[in-house]
Amino acid sequence: MRFVHGFISVVLWIIAIPLLVVAAARALPFDDVVPLPHLVAFTPWATLVTLPLLIVALFSRRWLLSLLLTAALAGYVYWTAPFFVPPDTSTAADPADPGTVRVMTINALYGRADAESVVHLVESQHVEVLSVQELTPAFTEALTDAGLDELLTHSLTVPVADSPAGSGLWSSTPLREEDQLDGTSFAMPSALVAAGGTDVRVTVVHPHPPMPTDITTWRTELVELTEQVHADDTPQILAGDFNATYDHAGFRDLLGSRFWDATREWGAGPAVTWPEGSQVPPLFALDHVVVERDMPVSDVVTMQVPGTDHRALVATVVVE
């Protein structure tokens, strides 16, 4: 009997330790040290496991473990619950309203995404601004052949062959004051887009991923992006593969007191977008539409696109 009791304790602790470690990593105000960026990404999933484990620990009278799990669960709920709280006005905005912008972002995986599927989503979702990452010359041509230029007649593209560094921006209205963010490994083009009577700067976002051997580049590029967007007083929308979830401190630093993550603001739960198209279901919300805090959002959804390991993310942004 004592052996069984001890065995159960060992099993509970083996399961609990990773959950406690993730909670401790999430509580830190920084994430630029290996393996913190990779641990905190599991925060939403750790929340789901912690509750049943706490119940088992309580019934088993493992009081120290129960206390630690209670503290971890309190943190998880505090960090995750806002994703499930809809805004005061949760009525979907009308994409046809001139003061709204329907935005879509998709990582094309070295240009391997199915171009016809992307164009179909643009048409069926009434997309007015499209952000594409990992854009190649061949994929740019495929999008044109599939009819994208007939739906979104204005574009700013920086395609790069055989590389994830390319990006592109398409719009149904003219793009003005075109620009390119400095100090990044991947192209991040931006331009002004008119929404009703307001000019909004839309930026295609794609910082370097947090590779275990090169966390510094990831963190540096997030900081560079943060500094540049906060230095611009123009109303902004950022759309792309941020290679970070809301649980990453670097992403929250980028939001600051100025921006919202559209998915979190819509309150329908985390929009997991990666990895897609494999035996492993999407686990992480790496793709985001980020908006000014005075821009309500609605109808934030993810969509499957064959050929890429990311889901597309679509959101309606009310600019005015």
pLDDT in tens, the chain (320 residues): 565 557 788 899 999 999 999 999 999 999 999 999 999 999 999 999 999 999 999 998 999 999 999 999 999 999 999 999 988 765 667 777 889 999 999 999 999 999 999 999 999 999 999 999 999 999 999 999 999 999 999 999 999 999 999 999 999 999 999 999 988 999 999 999 999 889 999 999 999 999 999 999 999 999 999 999 999 999 999 999 999 999 999 999 999 999 999 999 999 999 999 999 888 889 999 999 999 999 999 999 999 999 999 999 999 999 98
Q: What secondary structure does DSSP assign to 84-141, as a single string?
A: G---S--PPP-TTSTTEEEEEEEE-TTTTS-HHHHHHHHHHTT-SEEEEES--HHHHH
Task: State which residues form the domain around 200.
Answer: 100-318
Model confidence pLDDT, tens digit, residues 166-207: 999 999 999 999 999 988 999 999 999 999 889 999 999 999
Residue 292 lies in a domain: yes
Claim to verify: residue 77 and residue 109 sit in the same structural domain? no
Please report, for the domain that includes residue 278, its CATH number. 3.60.10.10
* C-alpha–C-alpha distance, residues 169 and 158, integer Å: 9
pLDDT in tens, 245-272: 999 999 999 999 999 999 999 999 999 9
Task: Determine contact, residues 82/101, Cβ cutoff 8 Å.
Answer: no
167 secondary structure, DSSP code: E
Same domain, 143 and 33: no
Number of neighbours of residue 78 by Cβ within 10 angstroms: 10
Total number of domains constituting the chain: 2
Residue 62 lies in a domain: yes
Residue 92 lies in a domain: no
- Note whether 72 and 38 are same-domain residues: yes
Instruction: Say whether both 189 and 220 belong to one domain.
Output: yes
Side-chain half-sphere exposure of 161, counting CA atoms within 13 A: 3
Beta strands in the chain (DSSP E): 100-107, 129-133, 154-158, 167-171, 176-180, 189-195, 198-205, 236-241, 259-261, 287-292, 297-303, 312-318
Whether 13 and 122 map to the same domain: the answer is no
Q: 287-292 and 236-241 as β-strands: parallel, antiparallel, unpaired?
A: antiparallel
The pTM of the full predicted model, rounded to 2 decimals, is 0.95
Could you tell me if residue 183 is inside a domain? yes
Residues 160 and 36 in one domain: no
Q: What is the largest CA-CA distance in the chain?
A: 75
Asked whether residue 111 falls in the same domain as residue 232, the answer is yes
